[in-house]
C-alpha cells in the first residue's frame, strides 16, 4: 500500500511534474479575466518558478550579480536571518513590475521588502493533501511538503516552492528609480 497514490481518471502526462506530483487541473484562458491576488493560476505559478519569470508580466525576472529579485511581505521579525531559508510560493519579479506590485497587491501594501537571493533551489510543493479513504481519497488539508516526503504522492499541488538562500535586502526606492 505504501506505493499507492491518487490521480485523475483521465490523467494526462502534463498533470504531473518531473517529480511525479499531481497538479491541480485548471483552464488556461490567456488574456481573459482579472488578477485575483492570493489566487495565482497553478500553471502560471509553476512555469514562473521553473523558468524564473516575473510573477506579474511573465517576462524574465530581474537578475544581477547579487541574485534574483523577489518582492516579499516583510516578516523580518519572524526569525534571525529572515528570509534566508524561507520557502516561497511567490515567483520572482522584474524591476519594472515592482511599482505595480506595490500599488496593487493587498498583501504587499501591508509591508513589503525587496530581496535578492543568490540561491533559490526548488524545495517542494504547496497544495491539498489527501489520505486514502474507504471509497475515495479524504482531504487532510493544505500543506507544504518537500519532494522527498512520501506523503507528497497524496497531494494535489497548486504552487511550487523555492527556498531563498544567501539573501540581501534591496531598497525599493532604488528599484523604482530604474524604471
Cell numbers for 102, please give them. Answer: 506595490
Kindly state the percentage of the chain with pLDDT values over 70: 88
Model confidence, pTM: 0.86
- pLDDT over threshold 80, residue 29: no
| DSSP at 151 | G
Please give the pLDDT value at position 32: 62
- 1 band by pLDDT with thresholds 50, 70 and 90: very low
Please give the pLDDT value at position 2: 44
By CB neighbour count within 10 A (0-12 exposed, 13-18 middle, 19+ buried), where does 144 fall? middle
pLDDT digits (tens, 9 = 90+) for 106-145: 888 888 999 999 999 999 999 999 998 888 889 999 999 9
Please give the pLDDT value at position 26: 75
Q: Are 113 and 144 in contact (CB under 8 A)?
A: no
Which sequence spans correspond to the domains of the chain?
38-123+165-174
Q: Which is more confidently placed, 95 or 3?
A: 95
Amino acid at each position: 500500500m505504501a506505493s499507492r497514490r491518487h490521480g485523475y481518471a483521465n490523467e494526462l502526462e502534463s498533470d504531473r511534474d518531473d517529480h511525479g506530483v499531481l497538479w491541480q487541473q485548471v483552464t488556461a484562458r490567456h488574456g481573459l479575466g482579472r488578477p485575483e491576488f492570493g489566487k495565482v493560476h497553478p500553471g502560471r505559478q509553476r512555469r514562473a518558478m521553473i523558468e524564473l519569470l516575473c510573477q506579474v508580466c511573465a517576462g524574465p525576472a530581474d537578475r544581477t550579480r547579487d541574485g534574483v529579485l523577489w518582492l516579499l511581505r516583510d516578516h523580518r521579525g519572524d526569525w534571525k536571518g529572515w528570509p534566508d531559508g524561507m520557502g516561497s510560493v511567490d515567483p520572482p519579479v522584474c524591476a519594472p513590475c515592482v511599482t505595480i506590485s506595490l500599488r496593487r497587491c493587498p498583501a504587499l501594501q501591508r509591508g513589503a521588502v525587496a530581496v535578492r537571493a543568490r540561491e533559490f533551489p526548488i524545495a517542494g510543493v504547496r497544495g491539498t493533501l489527501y489520505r486514502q479513504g474507504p471509497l475515495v481519497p479524504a482531504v487532510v488539508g493544505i500543506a507544504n511538503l518537500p519532494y522527498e516526503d512520501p506523503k507528497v504522492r497524496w497531494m494535489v499541488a497548486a504552487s511550487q516552492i523555492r527556498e531563498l538562500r544567501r539573501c540581501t535586502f534591496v531598497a525599493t526606492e532604488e528599484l523604482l528609480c530604474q524604471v
